[in-house]
Amino acid sequence: MAGAGMTQDFLTLHRCSIRHEYFSANESKGPFFDAGTKTWIITKPSHCKELLASTNLRPASFAENYQTLQQRLGIDFSSLTFTFDYIPLCLHGDRHMRARRRASEFLVARKAALNERIPQAVATHFNALQREGRVEIMDSAVIPSVLDIMSMVVDTDISTMDCRNASLVFDQSIGVNKRRKVEAEIATLRELISCRLGASATEDEVGLRLALVILGKDTLIGTLGESLYRLLELNHGRRLFEIDYPEFPLETGVPIIERVVVTPFKLANCNFASGDRVRILMQTFAYTAEPRNRSNFFGTGAHACLGRPVSMQLWNAITAFLSNVPLLAHVLAYYPRTSDYIFACPERLEIELCR
């Protein structure tokens, strides 16, 4: 099966329109090694689910990679390496469980406030979709809504700062200049959160909030933006209040999860050796026969997305809002984000609303 993926560019498949045909046809029934990304590619939903929960794999060595770059190039990546200690997705074993527990307890404590704020934020920022005319959804509605909610979650107003690169800590394909920008933005975010919390704030309090911004901002923006685009395309010609809105988002902003093999294993007659990189294509869950299986792109077990409740609340609030809008919405322009290789996210999504 080594040649199964040779016609595809798996570095950019997640943002190309061909992905819909690729996943719908389920071209790959089993794992195969892709020479372009130097990873095992996993597209079969059952295999993806199994490997997401597997103890044979660990996260990529994000912190170690940046420490190596720091030593080799003499570039200060101290804010990046600080942040990795608080992002569960970047940790393994007991460290992962401790970071995950802290983040989970932190979010649970904000549940009541989120329940109240999310419908208000959606009503405020999606108000432009109640009028006839052209609207660019991302800048007008999706991004402001997410920044509103993330600001409330981390007790710090991040809506006015430029942190568009902060979530690229997971992208191992970007160049040195982009990495410098990521470091600078995270350093600014770290300082902003520290100042907001005050001199008595501990590094753990700051690090946890910083990690949640990095984990949640682009994930939510991508998931909501891509899902709205797909929804409008699939329901072309229907008024917004006529659409049968799905329970789960149609797409995920996190199309790829990358792991490294720590214990050799065998899957579908393929031998995975220690040190092999494994690329799990999360978008495959959007094309399973049972719609509820889309929830698997939130992960599973100890690696389930901690932000799933917030994502679902935002999605349900948005669809509830749109279900009362008696206008047609035509997609005029859609451009995927191409500034990185890790998120699926519209750079621009312009629609026209009419009667």
Distance from C-alpha of 16 to C-alpha of 19, rounded to nearest angstrom: 6
Report yes or no: 5 and 34 within 8 Å, Cβ to Cβ: yes
pLDDT in tens, 86-118: 998 888 888 889 989 999 999 999 999 999 999
Asked whether the beta carbons of 260 and 58 are under 8 A apart, the reply is yes
Query: Is the pLDDT reported for residue 222 higher than 60?
Result: yes
Residue 194 has pLDDT above 90, yes or no: yes
Give the tens place of pLDDT for each residue, 20-36. Answer: 888 888 655 789 999 99
Of the candidates 157, 161, 143, the one whose C-alpha atom is nearest the C-alpha of residue 217 is 143
CA separation for the pair 267, 352 (Å, rounded): 48
State the sign of the Cα–Cα–Cα–Cα dihedral 308, 313, 316, 322: negative
Q: What is the pLDDT, as a whole number, of residue 161?
A: 84
Average pLDDT across the chain, whole number: 90
What is the model's pLDDT at position 7?
A: 61
Task: State yes or no: pLDDT of 244 exceeds 60.
Answer: yes
| C-alpha dist (Å) from residue 272 to 35, 90, 142, 352 | 15, 21, 40, 49
pTM of the predicted protein model? 0.92
Return the structure tokens found at 106.
């932190």
The verdict on domain 13-354 having CATH code 1.10.630.10 is yes
- Looking at the chain, the whole-number percentage of residues with pLDDT higher than 70 is 97
Q: pLDDT tens digit string along 257-284?
A: 999 999 999 999 999 999 999 999 999 9
To which H or E segment does residue 39 belong?
A: strand 39-42
pLDDT of 5 higher than 50:
no
Average pLDDT score over residue span 116-136: 96
Alpha helices by DSSP H, the chain: 18-25, 45-52, 62-73, 78-84, 93-108, 111-125, 137, 143-153, 176-197, 203-234, 308-322
Residue 95 dihedral angles phi and psi, to the nearest 5°? -65, -40
pLDDT-derived band at 1, boundaries 50, 70, 90? very low
Q: What are phi and psi of 323, to 5 degrees?
A: -70, -5
